[in-house]
Structure 1
């Protein structure tokens, strides 16, 4: 019923409503996650008017659009979203807007032969591509191209901002690899609440195991907990991790299962997976989030 209502509201906006937002001359951009908002802000700077649907700690897999969200989307000149079914409950809205809005699915612009397929996610690709910094660099270029097309007058500004941000991402990756190299390869086993870090593992030489599947809409069962507890014991995993956008109870249940078998494992900290931290904090940026995750993981597993 709620889905039908949202689509009805959207149809009304698309075919009958006037733009109620005062035009300040800037192109209006909306992103779904705050990860993408941070990226677009780096490229767009003061030349754009930017809004994000989701804030810190919000799970995009389960997010449902409000009436206010639909209004923001309707009034946008460009909409950037993760795609690859990351925002599963918003797909219908984006599809309905395609004929009248510049909707950019960033994940779907990446080469398919470089994506990780998953039979456990409706035979779709793993959407957590931002944990490969090289993919995020491609996102930055796509955003630059789209903003430049929509606002040719400021194309040089967007290009220069992108050049500076690409250099920052290169520095981030170099720092990441140096930190990882301090951790012996046999200790590079990352156990988390759900399968959000597979691209991280593939790019930076970690074995990654998630208790839940790629989407948090799936629930971990007793058998999943028991199987993963055996894996932790067999591989002498020192620490496991909760995630900021996923309830702690699943990882706490996993820890309890391990302890019940007379093996000690610690919760190594909370990682940012599907959302950044609070605005104004270091973890509220993509680069700050990545550094925080990197240091939390390496320090806990040493």
Structure 2
């Protein structure tokens, strides 16, 4: 049976009666909603605590709903880090309520609004997919680091040093992406994906981005939208489209079939990580690996020149 608001609040109240995690042998206890946040928090926190990511590989944050065990974990954690910008749409009410009693930080909400793209589906909202632009995500990492430093002021210098190391890798990712996408012929710099998760990526690296669905995977792809995109594929001779690990490829298959019916062959250029990273324990299951994979896959499929195993040769073979 689905959890109603009454059930969620009751669960939160019950969980609040449990003892909060304290500074112990395990250190600071952190819950992060997305894998991208968890990766940064883990790198900065190191051995000083533990990070529990609620959303794993292939999980769509737009539709994710917290379970009772998630509620207990967030209520007992010393710090809960969530993205904000309406990414975790189904969790927002609970997280807002939790923030009245616990330390809860929406890390992407710290970004200046003039750096964000408007959300076409919701007035007054913004596109939440800021991790797709490494330079922008680096500032979110600063907010994650600040929250950890506030929780453990005695370790602030250590956390700051680790933040600098992590952001140095992000800066290298940005340079790699800029060079890789620049190697794609200008007329081929069109990225067709399942939903509009790559707009910040497109803005950062000069690519036109066309998504079947809107910014949220909860939006429906109408027949008119698919028909219009088929027209675009045929008229502009676009030869490759991309599926996403956290979104069904049903609409993408419809695009390919529609183009084929008009005598134009379109192939799947590869699978991209959009709203979630790869499997835990893999390079692609880290934020640097996620972006490295996407950049290498996109540039390679569209005619650019990239190393087969990515920026540092860490990508899995055959991707």
In the superposition, the TM-score normalised over structure 2's length comes to 0.91
Name 1:61's counterpart in structure 2. Answer: 62
CA distance in 1 between partners of 2:40 and 2:21 (Å) = 27
| Residue 124 in structure 1 maps to residue 125 in structure 2 | yes
What's the counterpart of residue 220 of structure 2? 219
Q: 1:110 aligns to what?
A: 111
| 1:83/1:127 contact within 8 Å kept | yes
C-alpha distance in 1 between matches for 2:124 and 2:237: 32
Give the Å deviation of 1:218: 1.0
Q: Residues of 2 paired with 1:172 and 1:248: CA distance?
A: 27
Partner of 2:306: none
**Structure 1 residue 7, shift from structure 2 partner:** 2.1
1:238–1:300 CA contact under 8 A, matched in 2:
no
SS of residue paired to 2:147: helix
Alignment of structure 1 residues 184-263 onto 2, 5 Å: 184-263=185-264
Contact 1:21 1:75 in 2 (8 A): no
Alpha-carbon distance in structure 1 between the residues aligned to 2:291 and 2:21: 38
Match of 2:159 in 1: 158
TM superposition shift of 1:143:
1.5
CA–CA distance in structure 1, aligned partners of residues 241 and 124 of structure 2: 27
1:179 maps to what in 2?
A: 180
Instruction: Report if the CA contact (8 A) 1:43-1:140 is conserved.
Output: no
Q: Does 1:86 align with 2:87?
A: yes
Determine helix, strand or coil for the equivalent of 1:277: coil
1:121–1:213 Cα contact (<8 Å) kept: no
Aligned to 1:11: 13
Q: Per the alignment, do residues 165 and 193 of structure 1 end up closer, same or farther by CA in structure 2, a change over 3 Å counting?
A: same
What's the TM-score once normalised by structure 1's chain length? 0.96
Contact residue 34 and residue 53 of structure 2 kept, 8 A = yes
Aligned counterparts of 1:283 and 1:20: Cα–Cα separation in 2: 31
Partners of 1:71 and 1:271 lie apart in 2 by: 32
Contact 2:21 2:78 in 1 (8 A): no
Equivalent pair of 1:194/1:216 in contact (CA under 8 Å): yes
SS at match of 2:242: strand
CA-CA distance at 1:21 after TM superposition: 8.8
| Rounded Cα–Cα distance in structure 2 between residues aligned with 1:288 and 1:247 | 22
- Indicate the RMSD between aligned Cα atoms, in angstroms: 1.5
Cα drift, residue 189 of structure 1 = 0.3
Unmatched segments (≥5 aa) in structure 2 = 304-319
- Between the aligned partners of 1:48 and 1:20, the Cα distance in structure 2 is 11
- Segment drifting more, 174-183 vs 199-208: 174-183
2: CA distance between counterparts of 1:251 and 1:300? 16
Give the 3-state SS of the residue equivalent to 2:238 in structure 1.
coil
Q: Is the 8 A contact 2:22 2:78 kept in 1?
A: no
Structure with the higher helix share, 1 or 2: 1
